[in-house]
Amino acid sequence: MHILFLPSFYPEESMPLNGSFFKSQTKMLLGRLEQSATIYVEQKSLKQIFNQPHQNRYQKSIDHEVGILTYRQHGLNLLNQYEFGAKIWISLTMKMVHEYIRKNGKPDLIHAHNVFHAGRVAKKCVEMYQIPYVVTEHASGFLLNEYSPKQLKIAKKVYQHASKVLAVSFGLAKKIQELCAIDLPTVVPNVVNTQIFSLHEQIEKQPSFTFISVGNLLQNKGHHILITAFGEFKKRTNQAVQLHIYGKGTEQQNLEKLIIKLNLSEDVFLKGILTSNELSKAYQQANCLVLPSFKETFGVVLIEAMACGLPVIATKSGGPEDLVHEYNGLIVDAGDTVQMADALEKMLLTYSNYNSKNISKEIENNFSEPVIADRLIAIYKIALTSRLGYAVK
C-alpha cells in the first residue's frame, strides 16, 4: 500500500512540537506500508524567516526525516489564515505533489490531516489524479466556532469527497457533524509511543508533591487559570507542593508576571521545552498532570502522562471527556478557577487511591502504536475498496 501524508502543520526546527503527533503517526506506519511520504509547505512568521540561515529560505528539500521521505518547502510567510494565502499554500503543495508523483508514482491513497488546508489539497488530487483520500480532523477551530459559513461550506465539500472522515475525539466528531451536516465522522484517537512513555516505578518522584502541565503557552491552553487556582489551593495545605509548566509561546511573559504577582516564584516554574525522552522522565518524577485548556480536540499529553502511570486533571474542553474517568483522574469546567483549585486539593488528598499500573495499562491497550496502526490500516483498506470520493460531484 502506497500512502501520501499531507499535514496542515508539521514540526519545524523553530517549532519542534508543531504537529508532532502527525509525524508520530506517520512514523508509526512506516513498517506497515510498502511506500509512504509526507509533503509539507512551511508557514513561518517574517521574523522566523529572517532569523533562519539564508540557505534555508524559500528552498525545497527532499530528505528522510526519522525514516519518513519528506518533501518540504522552507521559509514562507503565506498568511494562510486568509483565503488568498491559503490558495497559495494549496498551489505550492500541489506542485510538490506533482513532483512527487513524477518521481515515485501515484499513491494508492492520500491521508490528509485537517481540512484547512491539507484536506483541500487532497480534494484537488481526487479531481486531478483520481486518488482517493481520508481526512483526519484535529482542529480546535470547530469547537471554538471560529469558522465562517463560507469556510464551513468549503469543509463540507472536502468531507463529502473523502472516502472516510475521521476525528480524534467524539466531541469533535459531533461538532463537525453539527456544523457541516455530514455523517458522524469515525473516531480514531491520537497515538502514544509506549516505548518512550511508559511506567518506570524505579524513577523517584520529586521531593514535593508535583503537578505538571505540558503545552504551548497560549491563551487557549488556560495556564493562567491553572496558576491562579494553584495559588488558591496552596493556601489550603501545609504540604510542600509545586507546579511545573513545560512549553513556550506568546503568553510566557504574562504568565511570568502572574507568578510574581501571586508570590508563587518558589512554587510555580516555567521550564521550557523538553525532548520526548526528557518529558517522559518529567512525567515519571511528577505526581499528576493538569491540562487546563479552554478547548482541546484530544489532549495527547493526557495519554502520554497516563502511559507513565500518572492520574490527571483535565477540563471539559471537547477531547478530554473521552479520556478521563473516575479511575484515572478528575475533570472540571474549563475556565473555572474554583473548580480547578478544588480538584488540585482533591488530587493531593486522594492520590493514593489511583493505581498507576492500571492507568498505564489502559493507555497501552487503547492508544499504543500497534492498536492505532491496526485501525488505520483497516480504514485505508475500506477507503480503497469504497472510493466514495469519486461519486460526489
Residue type, 295: K
Decide: 390 and 175 in contact? Cβ < 8 Å.
no
The whole-number average pLDDT for the span 118-135 is 96
Q: Which band of pLDDT confidence, cut at 50, 70 and 90, is reported for residue 81?
A: confident
Considering only residues 358 and 80, tell me which one the structure prediction assigns the higher pLDDT: 358
Indicate the pLDDT class of residue 43, thresholds 50, 70 and 90. confident
Whether 121 has a pLDDT exceeding 90, the answer reads yes
CATH topology of domain 2-191+369-391: Rossmann fold (3.40.50)
**Strand pairing class (133-137; 109-113):** parallel
- pLDDT exceeding 90 applies to what percent of the chain? 79
pLDDT at site 77: 59
pLDDT band at 10; cut points 50, 70, 90: confident
The answer, yes or no, to whether the previous bond of 117 is cis (omega within 30 of 0) is yes
Long-range contacts from 81-84, C-beta under 8 angstroms, 24+ separation: none
Q: What integer pLDDT is reported at residue 324 of this predicted model?
A: 97
Q: Which three cell numbers stand for residue 25?
A: 503517526
pLDDT at position 201:
83
Using CA atoms, how far residue 153 sits from 115, 180, 182, 205, 388, in Å, is 11, 7, 11, 50, 19
pLDDT band for position 24 (cuts 50, 70, 90):
confident
2-191+369-391 shares its CATH topology with 209-367: yes
pTM, two decimal places = 0.87
Into which CATH architecture does domain 209-367 fall?
3-Layer(aba) Sandwich (3.40)
Domain boundaries, the chain: 2-191+369-391, 209-367
Average the pLDDT over 136-163 and give the result: 95
Q: What residues contact 167, with CB distance under 8 A and at least 6 apart? A: 136, 137, 173, 176, 185, 186, 187, 188, 297
Q: What is the tens place of the pLDDT at every residue in 165-202? A: 999 999 999 999 999 999 999 999 999 999 999 999 88
